[in-house]
Structure 1
């Protein structure tokens, strides 16, 4: 009888172990994942490498540093994000490969760089489809953001923060530009393929060059003007060589803080929540900071003597018509999916309050 009780206990213990294993397998946890979850639950620290290539003093860099600091503190030692700034670990050219392969856990890079891997991201460069800051927020918080997140995840990358960089404007040293036809005959610096397409659609000749060459190129008359954000116009002192600034808000530049999907899946649900909640807070802060920074720079550029012209809202349709071929090219390349992405942007713009 005593032997029966002992055997009975052994059988019950075995069944219990099988039941637990079945539940964990049913939840999609592999043996390695089970060990990781158990280790994390027992207080084992998770170390993550985060890299970005912008200068450490840039406002987006400061936001990413704050994100890492907040996660480390809120996890109470469970997560340790080590930050490698200003291209110390990876630059913008090799960072995406490192993220997709798992050589890097978290990275911040421009969507312009990511669009070489995920062409759908080019929609953010499309001219005059996102016509205000709140339109951008609406789009990335809504259907557009969901669709772009899914495209990123197909590449083994989990998006964390859509980090606003700001709108793109035009400045030149020849004449005041108020209408699309004013671009006729001008030579304008572009910074990407889509940027060049926009300039060409407006009737100017695009010239692709690095940002470091722009100042002397305008000063020497090699080009008449350039396309960039007003923060760059101010920081690079382009106002010294270009008198006229036209605030078109034609394209919106985004950076993306994203995480290798395998690194993400190794975290416990509690750790994932800490990262997700912190990322959302930082994203909201970046949005406010970017808009405020853009407005500050415009005022300062005006104070420094630039002739600043803001295109009226009721004339945006003229610029949309002039640059329609650029949007059509994107939709042709991306098919019905591309058309849907553009529609998502236009709907977000129509619903915007500013």
Structure 2
């Protein structure tokens, strides 16, 4: 009888024992080199998450498009072949058409207006439809304006874009280039270097530090710092994986992403300023768009807003007006 009771007690003890801690590996592919500014944010995130989880979470990076890139990366997140990415916003508008609102010309004419939109949770509404399709946005990682650079032509007035073969990014940006009588060319990030070298494109839109990190200043000799397109990365995870996480681990990941994205604002601004100085030192002609010039470009591209209003919806367009003033 004592033996039976002892075995029963052991059985109850085993039944009541807590489950083994969940171990999580986050496959985190990105298109860009970890040397550019968002790469620093990604690495900070990895450090924080792995430390706070006491090693229960491992973050594995796959930089420079080594695993997936562009729309293939979007599909990988949706399938669950990757758990997380920070992929530039234009690729997500193919999945969530309303998110193209952030790509409208001069949607956020100052970085402060962009930060306010983040803090006001504007982007939670912008990316609401992605969750229904299998991807959840857990944060917004800011970068810099996608500023135009060209091989030979200084871009001062809207008319200066006419006839240039220009790498565009997303339907809205391509539409803007067409309004300016440029010739839009769609190529993935990883294809830019040979496209510049071979003359496939005359110019492109990229953040300032990309010119120096990828040595594009050797071919691109004119850069205009124009705030017509804010580059940022929706911090995106596979929805099914996210919802299935241990709540404690999910909280660690969410908190880290929020903290890193907010502290990254200062880092990205400092990197932008340094990149502009580096470009000048390399002999690149850097033009800072004046307020009067900005107004001219805004007028020349304003019809793009009307063109995409039905896709985006009047509610988001009306809300955006508050930030674009």
TM-score clears 0.5: yes
Per-residue CA deviations over 1:134-166 (Å, capped at 9, x if unaligned) read 111111222421212322222232222312232
- For 1:82 and 1:175, how far apart are their aligned partners in 2? 43
Q: Normalization by structure 2: what TM-score?
A: 0.83
| Structure 1 segment 113-124 matched on structure 2, within 5 A | 113-124=91-102
Q: Which sections of structure 2, spanning at least 5 residues, go unmatched?
A: 1-15
Q: Distance in 1 between matches of 2:161 and 2:204?
A: 12
1:211-230 equivalences in 2 (<5 Å):
211-218=192-199, 223-230=201-208
How far apart are residue 117 of structure 1 and its match?
Answer: 1.0
What are the within-5 Å matches in structure 2 for residues 35-50 of structure 1? 42-50=19-27
d(CA) in 2 for partners of 1:239 and 1:95?
28
Q: Secondary structure at the match of 1:57?
A: coil
Return closer, same or farther for 1:58/1:224 CA change in 2, 3 Å cut-off: closer
Given that residues 139 and 344 in structure 1 are in contact (C-alpha distance below 8 angstroms), is that contact kept between their aligned partners in structure 2? Answer: no
How big is each residue's C-alpha offset from its partner over 1:308-354, in whole Å with a ceiling of 9 and x where there is no partner?
211122442221111112222211333xx2x332333331244xxxx
SS at match of 1:281: helix
Say if 1:158 and 1:323 are closer, same or farther in 2 by CA, change over 3 A: same
The counterpart of 1:292, out of the listed 249, 261, 270, is: 270
Q: 2:299 aligns with which of 307, 313, 321?
A: 321
Range moving further from structure 2, 296-305 or 100-109: 100-109
Partner of 1:128: 106
Work out whether 1:66 is the aligned partner of 2:75: no
Q: Which residue of 1 aligns with 2:13?
A: none
Name stretches of at least 5 consecutive residues in structure 1 with no aligned partner.
1-37
Aligned to 2:180: 202
Pairs aligned (count): 305
Task: Please report the RMSD computed on the Cα atoms of aligned residues, expressed in angstroms.
Answer: 2.6
Q: 1:271 to 1:326 in 2, by over 3 A?
A: same
Deviation at 1:217, TM superposition (A): 4.0
The residue that corresponds to 2:143 in the other structure is: 165
Q: For residues 177 and 64 of structure 1, do their structure 2 counterparts lie closer, same or farther at Cα, with a shift above 3 Å needed?
A: closer
- State the Cα distance separating 1:296 from its structure 2 match: 1.0
Q: Which has the larger radius of gyration?
A: 1
Q: Equivalences for 1:181-330 in 2 at 5 Å? A: 181-209=159-187, 210-218=191-199, 223-330=201-308
1:198 Cα offset (Å): 1.5
- For 2:129 and 2:160, how far apart are their aligned partners in 1? 38
The reply to whether residue 84 of structure 1 matches residue 61 of structure 2 is yes
**Deviation string for 1:104-129 (max 9, x for gaps)?**
33233222222211112222221111
Q: Any conservation in 2 of the 1:127–1:326 contact (CA below 8 Å)?
A: yes
Distance across 2 between alignment mates of 1:272 and 1:67 = 14
1:152 to 126, 130, 133: 130
CA contact (8 A) 1:56 1:85 kept: no
Contact 1:133 1:291 in 2 (8 A): no
Distance 1:287 1:323, change over 3 A: same
Displacement, 1:212?
A: 2.0
How does the TM-score come out when normalised to structure 1? 0.76
Residue 42 of structure 1: how far off its partner (Å): 4.2
